[in-house]
């Protein structure tokens, strides 16, 4: 493939209106309509380049609708994307999400090239703890197993006994078969787990900068004003979770909506998630107390295009770190993924 670096920026062509009529109709309720003609040339160029490269694009549920609906081949939560990376045929994967998600894909598919369009797409939970912090915790609590949330760096995963997601955290903690477990880095998720198990949880002080912003007062206000059901992610504070009709992981929230079919629901989580669920549940009115993840928002159609064009930024993880992190991830996969929250 020649001269990809010289590809001109995509511009509007009249034939895009017909070719992407169905996508435009889907995006219409989700993004300002003036933006759709700006997005379509990039979506078209990315989809063509993706085919040329034989690449697969994976997008987390917190990605913007033009990415989620326009260019993603696979969508889902962080673990779903990592598993899809391991199972897909393509040798080139572009992860539209934050850095730890691209690392998880690389850990489960080390032979593949995994690209992230912006290396600065981080996560306040992942950056709240280092591998050295985990070693210090282990020295402080000898013999106590460490369960780390998926929102951690590969180096932290490699120091852990097992990984969990918000969908299986209680189950993984209990599978450690220990009266005490160090749970890191999310303090609120740790407190949520502690309320559901007899295992003593030793906490770390990490917080999701998006979910910690929600307040119980705001949630009560939304419920009173809109008469809606409330679903909340367990990264929210205990006071917010106490106000919710349902507390669950990214995937569990979607399943709850399918089961309960509420007329109105307030999604107390990253607000792109409500946009992305809207087209799946047209009978439900979504109220969005809107907190966007600034790290997720770093991924744009423009940098996805550049990632495919220039094959950047490839995730590189030392082999020993991959091996350690893989061991901890495999421990979680062995526990299974029955949804407990
Ligand atoms: P999931 O593991 O549910 O995809 O969530 C990741 C995340 O960043 C939540 O804020
Ligand atoms: Fe991290 Fe919170 Fe953003 Fe999720 S929403 S990636 S936990 S900062």
Please tell me the number of the ligand nearest to residue 125's CA.
2
**Which uninterrupted H or E stretch holds 155?**
helix 154-158
pLDDT level of residue 248 (50, 70, 90 thresholds): very high
- Cβ of 151 closer than 6 Å to ligand 2, yes or no, is yes
pLDDT at residue 277, as a whole number? 86
Q: How many domains does the chain have?
A: 3
Same domain, 191 and 104: no
168 CA from centroid of ligand 2 (Å) = 18
Give the mean pLDDT of 93-118. 97
The pLDDT of residue 151 is 97
Rounded CA-CA distance 78/76 in Å is 7
Distance between Cα 10 and ligand 1 center (Å): 32
Q: Does residue 229 share a domain with residue 135?
A: no
Residues 326 and 186 occupy one common structural domain: yes
Atom of ligand 1 at shortest range from CA of 80: 4
**What is the CA 232 to chain-centroid distance, rounded?**
15
For residue 1, how far is its CA from the centre of ligand 2 (angstroms)?
36
Distance 32 CA to ligand 2 centre (A): 25
Q: What pLDDT digit, counting tens, does each position of 18-59 carry?
A: 999 999 999 998 899 899 999 999 999 999 999 999 999 999
Torsion of CA 332, 335, 340, 341, to 10 degrees: 0
Please classify residue 255 by burial: count the beta carbons closer than 10 Å to its beta carbon, then call 0-12 exposed, 13-18 middle and 19+ buried: middle
Tell me the pLDDT band of 278, cut-offs 50, 70 and 90: confident
Domain containing 234 — which CATH number? 3.40.50.10800
Peptide bond into 166 cis (omega under 30): no
Q: Check whether residue 262 and residue 273 sit in a common domain.
A: yes
CA 327 to ligand 1 centroid distance, Å: 21
What was the pLDDT predicted at 4?
60
In ligand 2, the atom with minimum distance to the C-alpha of 123 is 1
Residues 333 and 203 grouped into a single domain: yes
Nearest to 65 by CA among 296, 308, 234, 284: 296
5 pLDDT band, cuts 50/70/90, is low
User: What pLDDT does 2 receive?
Assistant: 44
Instruction: Identify the residue whose C-alpha is closest to ligand 2 atom 3.
Output: 293
- Indicate if 271 and 199 belong to the same structural domain: no
Per-residue confidence (pLDDT) for residue 285, from 0 to 100: 93
Query: Which of 156-160, 204-208, 252-256 has the lowest average pLDDT?
Result: 252-256
Q: Which residues line ligand 1 (CB under 6 A)?
A: 77-78, 150-151, 165-166, 208, 235, 249-250, 270
Residues above pLDDT 90, as percent of the chain: 82
DSSP string, 260-318: H--SEEEEESBTHHHHHHHTT-TTSEEE---B--TTGGG--HHHHHHHHHHT--B----
Report the nearest-CA residue for atom 4 of ligand 1: 77
Expressed in angstroms and rounded, the spacing between residue 200 Cα and the centre of ligand 1 is: 24
**pLDDT tens track for 184-211:** 999 999 999 999 999 999 999 999 999 9
Distances in whole angstroms, Cα of residue 110 to Cα of each of 96, 120, 315, 331, 336 = 18, 21, 10, 18, 22
Count other Cβ atoms within 10 Å, centred on residue 289: 18
> Distance, CA 20 to ligand 1 centroid (Å)?
30
CA angle 81, 102, 156 (to 5 degrees): 110
With 80 as the cut, is the pLDDT of residue 180 above it? yes
- Collapse the DSSP code of 58 into the 3-class scheme (helix H, G, I; strand E, B; otherwise coil) and give the result: strand
- 181/196 same-domain check: yes
Instruction: Give the pLDDT band of residue 6 (cuts 50, 70, 90).
Output: low
The pLDDT score that the predictor gives to residue 87 is 92
Q: Does 119 lie in the same domain as 11?
A: yes
Angle at 126 between CA 289 and CA 61, to 5 degrees: 45
Q: What is the pLDDT of residue 1?
A: 46
What residue numbers bound the domain in which 104 lies?
A: 4-123+296-310
Q: Across the strands, what pairs with 92?
A: 55, 113
Ligand 2 atom at shortest distance from the alpha carbon of 211: 2
- pLDDT grade for 339, boundaries at 50, 70 and 90: very low
Same domain, 179 and 250: no
Our measurement of the distance from residue 231's CA atom to the centroid of its chain's CA atoms, rounded to an integer in Å, reads 17
Closest listed residue to residue 266, CA positions, set 225, 298, 317: 225
Q: Are residues 133 and 173 in the same domain?
A: yes
* Token representation of residue 77: 């939560």
Whole-number Å distance between alpha carbons of 136 and 275: 41
Q: Is the pLDDT of residue 341 over 80?
A: no
Q: What is the spatial distance between Cα 35 and Cα 260, in angstroms, rounded to a whole number? A: 33
Adjacent-strand bridge partners of 270: 291
Domain shared by 200 and 252, yes or no: no
Q: Average pLDDT, stretch 114-122?
A: 98
With the most atoms of ligand 2 within 8 angstroms of its CB, the residue from 125, 291, 299 to mutate is 125
Same domain, 142 and 116: no
């Amino acid at each position: 493939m020649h001269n990809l670096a010289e590809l001109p920026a995509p511009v509007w062509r009249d034939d895009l209106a017909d070719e992407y009529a169905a996508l435009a109709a889907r995006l219409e309720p989700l993004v300002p309509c003036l933006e759709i003609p700006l997005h379509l040339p990039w979506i078209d160029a990315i989809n063509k380049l993706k085919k040329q490269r034989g690449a697969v694009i994976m997008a987390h549920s917190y990605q913007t609708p033009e990415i989620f609906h326009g260019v993603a081949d696979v969508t889902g939560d962080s673990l779903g994307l990592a598993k899809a990376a391991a199972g897909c045929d393509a040798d080139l994967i572009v992860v539209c999400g934050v850095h730890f998600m691209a690392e998880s894909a690389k850990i489960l598919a080390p032979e593949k090239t995994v690209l992230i369009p912006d290396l600065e797409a981080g996560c306040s939970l992942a950056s709240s703890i280092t591998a050295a912090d985990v070693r210090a915790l282990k020295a402080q609590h000898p013999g106590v197993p460490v369960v780390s949330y998926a929102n951690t760096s590969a180096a932290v995963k490699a120091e852990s006994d097992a990984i969990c997601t918000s969908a299986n955290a209680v189950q993984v903690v209990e599978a450690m078969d220990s009266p005490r477990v160090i749970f890191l880095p999310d303090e609120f998720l740790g407190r949520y787990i502690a309320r559901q198990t007899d295992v003593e949880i030793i906490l770390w002080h990490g917080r999701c900068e998006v979910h910690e912003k929600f307040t119980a007062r705001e949630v009560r206000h939304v419920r009173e004003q809109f008469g809606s059901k409330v679903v909340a992610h367990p990264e929210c504070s205990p006071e917010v979770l106490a106000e919710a009709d349902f507390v669950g992981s990214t995937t569990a929230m979607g399943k709850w909506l399918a089961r309960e079919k509420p007329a109105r629901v307030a999604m107390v989580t990253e607000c792109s998630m409500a946009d992305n669920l809207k087209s799946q549940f047209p009978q439900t009115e979504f109220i969005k107390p809107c907190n966007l993840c600034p790290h997720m928002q770093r991924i744009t159609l423009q940098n996805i295009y550049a990632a495919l064009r220039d094959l950047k930024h490839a995730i590189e993880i030392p082999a020993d770190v991959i091996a350690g992190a893989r061991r901890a991830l495999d421990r979680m996969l062995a526990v299974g993924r029955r949804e407990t929250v």
